Chain A
Amino acid sequence: AQKVTQAQTEISVVEKEDVTLDCVYETRDTTYYLFWYKQPPSGELVFLIRRNSFDEQNEISGRYSWNFQKSTSSFNFTITASQVVDSAVYFCALSESGNYDMRFGAGTRLTVKP
């Protein structure tokens, strides 16, 4: 069975601080995909990244970076120099190979204060 845990329910930081959102997953498959989505107050889920299980290279996109470690079944997300516009709920999700539905974590609400 697939499962995603986001232990941090809420995080509050001050603008320009770095912040890391944790994601731990469980799966019995060797082939799977991991995702991060952002959900701003408007409600729409915005795709941030997809990573397959065979690619453990860390990725950086502007102020965003992701650390994928199969040894600890984690796929953590770091925002560097946070901005107020980063305030949102962030979801980590897992999709097993051959499955089309994504299993989402409960989300982490990030508040960035000016």
Chain B
Amino acid sequence: GAGVSQSPRYKVAKRGQDVALRCDPISGHVSLFWYQQALGQGPEFLTYFQNEAQLDKSGLPSDRFFAERPEGSVSTLKIQRTQQEDSAVYLCASQREDNEQFFGPGTRLTVL
């Protein structure tokens, strides 16, 4: 596709469940970012990949959060033992060479 896609668009999880969120970046974009957007707030940086290398994961809120991009294309953000405070929209963005970031539609995660 022409843009960044994310799946699922909506995810409802019971507290304690593990979830996996997928991001398909724009083909050829080397850099990929994950952001967390709480209700009524701006996106906050979680982690950054350059190809398959995770160069920065300083924004991940806890060790329950894990991201991977094994082949330098599709990325998965995994959250283990979800908590209510994990409820948010998770945005993925891929970046072209001039540093412009293109965002996907996000996955809205609700933890009950």
**Interface contact A107-B42, CB-CB below 8 Å:** yes
Distance between Cα atoms of A55 and B56 in the complex (Å)? 29
The number of residue pairs between A and B whose CB atoms lie closer than 8 Å in the complex comes to: 52
Judging by beta carbons under 8 Å apart, are B42 and A100 in contact?
Answer: no
Quick check: is A91 within 8 A (CB to CB) of the other chain? yes
Kindly supply a per-residue 1/0 record for chain A positions 62-99, scoring 1 wherever the CB is within 8 Å of any chain B CB and 0 otherwise. Answer: 00000000000000000000000000000101010000
Q: Given that A91-B42, A101-B33 are contacting pairs, would A44 and B103 also be in contact in the complex, using a CB cutoff of 8 Å?
A: yes
Q: Which residues of B contact A45 (CB under 8 A)?
A: 43, 91, 93, 103
For the complex, give the distance between the alpha carbons of A106 and B37 in Å: 10
Q: Are B103 and A101 in contact (CB under 8 A)?
A: no
How far does the Cβ of B29 sit from chain A's closest Cβ, in whole Å? 13
Chain A residues with a Cβ closer than 8 Å to the other chain, count: 21
Residues A44 and B48 in contact, CB atoms below 8 Å apart: no
A45–B4 alpha-carbon span in the complex (Å)? 11
**Stretch of B62-70, B78-86, B94-102 at the chain-chain interface:** B94-102
| B19, chain A: closest CB distance, angstroms | 18
CB distance from B100 to the nearest CB of A (A): 6
Q: Which of A33, A100, A106 has the most CB of B within 10 A?
A: A100
Q: How does the 8 Å CB contact mask read for A37-59 relative to B, with 1 for contact and 0 for none?
A: 10000111111001000000000
Give me the interface of A with B, judged by CB distance under 8 Å.
Answer: 4, 33, 37, 42-47, 50, 91, 93, 95, 100-107
